A and B are shown apart, each in its own frame.
Chain A
Amino acid sequence: MAPNAFLPIATFVNLVSAVFTLIIWYTAYKAFRFLGSVKMLFLSISFLLFSLGLFSQTFYATAALVESIALPRLFVGEGYLLYSILMLAGYMVLAFAYSIGEVGAAALSVFAYRKNPFNSVTRLFLNFRVFFEYGVQVFSAALLLYVLVKVYEEYFSRKASYAAPIAVGLTLLFIQLLVRIFDLDSAFDYLFASIIQLAGFALIFYAVWKVNSK
């Protein structure tokens, strides 16, 4: 299969993820309207931002396909930057939902800068835009790591029903961020990350759907 052949599949995968996140946003928003909980408001906003990011990436990737833009340019283009920033904003709001009422120091320690051990990535630092995007992804991963710690803490202490698929779904989102940080330089990597992301959002969607359908 030609490298660029992965791109249409990845674009479709992102579109499905966007639809899942949109449904999760709507359900969480309904929960906020009913319960009046600020945490649910932040949760819903984060999924709305994920949805906007995924829809924008779908749009830009489709445009790139139509205009036959080379893959490296797709990953450093405005579309990918917009996607990365919207996803980061989503992770920030999500982390905020979990940090309300908590001591901020513990959260801040997670954001500490860590050196990248993979030499292949260092060449990307030559391009400022790529550096910025890389920073955005690292920051997103740090925020999601904080959320994961909180979710697993709650999961092991309460064992709430359907908490397991949500915890695993968020873990998959974290893994796809790591793929994007360390190894996003081919269409296959892009598809791989998109599929992991879809699996993550699909699991969260499954849990939300099961709870909502009762």
Chain B
Amino acid sequence: MEGKLKVTKERYRSRVSIIVDVLKAVESEDNEDQRLTHIMSKANLPYNRFSSILSDLVSKGLIAEKGSGEKKSYALTPKGKKYVQEYEKFKKLSEAFGLNI
């Protein structure tokens, strides 16, 4: 109905989907490296949680860190891109079976 707030069933994000949200936030449409605050707002995470996930992804080689200090920027590595693709593939599989993950 028009003017009525549509209530949807919001679910908690799993750790994998949070990781993918961070990776997608890093993956820029214009292929430019992303700044920390920009990624954080896109990933919709509090700073503490975000920084621990980010450092984890950098150490695992999914995100590449460039520069230092305030000029520090981030870019998705080929390994990170592959991870996002795999996630999309398996998510599509679970949706095809009608299973919400």
Contacts and interface: CB of A to CB of B under 8 A. Distances in A.
Interface of A: 27-28, 30-31, 34-37, 39-40, 43, 97-98, 150-151, 153-155, 158, 160-163, 166-167, 207-208, 211-212, 214
B101 A214 contact: no
B37 to A, nearest CB: 29
B99 A163 contact: no
A31 B86 CA distance: 9
Given A166-B98, A212-B93, 7 more contacts: A35-B101, A39-B101, A40-B99, A154-B99, A161-B92, A211-B96, A214-B92
A167 B86 CA distance: 23
A35 B95 contact: no
A39 B99 contact: yes
The DSSP consensus for interface residues of chain B is helix
Contacts of A158: 95, 98
Given A34-B86, A34-B87, A35-B16, A98 B94 contact: no
A162 B14 CA distance: 23
Nearest to A28: B93
Contacts of A43: 94, 97, 99
Contacts of A97: 99
A207 B90 contact: no
Interface of B: 14-16, 86-87, 89-101
A166 B97 contact: yes
Nearest to A32: B90
Nearest to B17: A35
Contacts of B14: 35-37
Those 3 A-B pairs whose CB atoms lie nearest each other, nearest first: A154-B98, A160-B95, A31-B90
Contact of A27 (B87, B93, B98, B100): B93
Nearest to A33: B90
A98 B98 contact: yes
A161 B92 CA distance: 7
Nearest to B99: A39
Contact of A31 (B15, B93, B98, B100): B93
A64 B99 CA distance: 39
Contact of A212 (B87, B89, B91, B101): B89
Nearest to A31: B90
Contact of A211 (B16, B93, B99): B93
Contacts of A167: 98
